């Protein structure tokens, strides 16, 4: 009940949440961050079915950004020092310790689309799409902070995440003023992306189309990793991605 009460307080403060498997990062079946909600009755039903669920936040809908400091090498100080050396400060009193021992620095933002910039520098990801958060199992808010302590995002984070911005909003609304070709349709399909429901089939299709466009397999695979990191929610892990790529490459060679 304590976990449910905390989640209810989150949505009452305007956060959009979705259910995640206990102790994991994958959404519960038939959910994704795109289906995040503030519906308290629906949230209560999640906990009746599985009281031990983890909780994810749709960051974009909740007007939040997270700076993710990983702990893959059991060294949090290295990425923090690298940020500091480059002049990127992290002025946030709302920080969570993650299941893996990493840190999530939370910030408020307005109008940032759902995206993420993985490996902004080594050990640092910038997130505005989704995140696993407390009160999930093994996630903890540090130093007794509350949602009131989340500050506005520094301008450098906003600029770094705005890597897909168009020079003018008009360019997004006006039809393309020239004849479109296969590559243009493929780029549009890639950027549209996919959520958890059909990731493997979608990424397989993208790899096949890249190969048929005439790209060298190694280059197509490098681009596939970028697509996986930025346009799939949540991304496939490396083992899954490699398995899909190898399968499509074998089929392509045998055609």
**DSSP state letters, 45-85:** HHHHH-TT-EEEEETTTTTEEEEEE--TTS-SHHHHHHHHH
pLDDT of residue 10: 97
> H or E element: which one contains 9?
helix 2-12
Report the candidate in 80, 61, 68, 10 with the shortest Cα–Cα distance to residue 40.
Answer: 10
Distance CA 22, CA 51 (A): 9
Distance CA 16, CA 103 (A): 21
Structure tokens at 16: 């959009």
The pTM (predicted TM-score) of the whole model is 0.65
Distance CA 120, CA 18 (A): 26
Distance CA 52, CA 21 (A): 8
What parts of the chain have a pLDDT lower than 70?
163-181, 195-197, 233, 255
Tokens 């979608």 locate to 202
pLDDT of residue 172: 41
pLDDT of residue 29: 87
Measured between alpha carbons, how far apart are the two ends of the chain, in Å? 57
Going across the sheet that includes 130-133, the strands are 17-20, 54-58, 130-133
pLDDT of residue 164: 47
Distance CA 93, CA 142 (A): 9
| Domains within the chain, CATH numbers bracketed | 2-161 (3.30.2250), 173-254 (no CATH)
**Helices 238-254 and 199-212, interaxial angle, to 10°?**
40
């Amino acid at each position: 009940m304590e976990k449910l009460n905390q989640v209810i307080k989150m949505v009452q403060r305007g956060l959009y949440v979705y259910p995640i498997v206990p102790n994991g990062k994958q959404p519960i079946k038939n959910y994704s961050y795109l289906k995040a909600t503030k519906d308290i009755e629906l949230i209560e039903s999640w906990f009746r079915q599985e009281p031990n669920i983890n909780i994810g936040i749709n960051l974009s809908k909740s007007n939040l950004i997270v700076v993710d400091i990983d702990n893959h090498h059991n060294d949090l100080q290295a990425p923090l020092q690298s940020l500091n050396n480059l002049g990127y400060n992290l002025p946030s009193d709302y920080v969570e310790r993650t299941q893996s021992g990493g840190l999530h620095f939370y910030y408020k933002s307005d109008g940032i689309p759902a995206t993420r910039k993985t490996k902004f520098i080594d050990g640092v990801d910038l997130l505005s799409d989704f995140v696993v958060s407390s009160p999930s199992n093994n996630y903890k808010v540090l130093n007794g902070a509350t949602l009131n302590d989340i500050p506005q995002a520094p301008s450098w984070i906003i600029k770094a995440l705005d890597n897909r911005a168009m020079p003018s909003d008009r360019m997004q609304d006006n039809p393309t003023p020239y004849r479109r070709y296969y590559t243009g349709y493929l780029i549009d399909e890639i950027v549209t992306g996919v959520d958890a429901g059909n990731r493997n089939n979608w990424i397989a299709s993208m790899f096949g189309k890249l190969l048929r466009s005439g790209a060298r397999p190694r280059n197509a695979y490098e681009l596939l990793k970028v697509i996986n990191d930025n346009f799939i929610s949540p991304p496939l892990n490396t083992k899954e991605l490699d398995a899909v790529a190898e399968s499509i490459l074998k089929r392509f060679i045998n055609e």
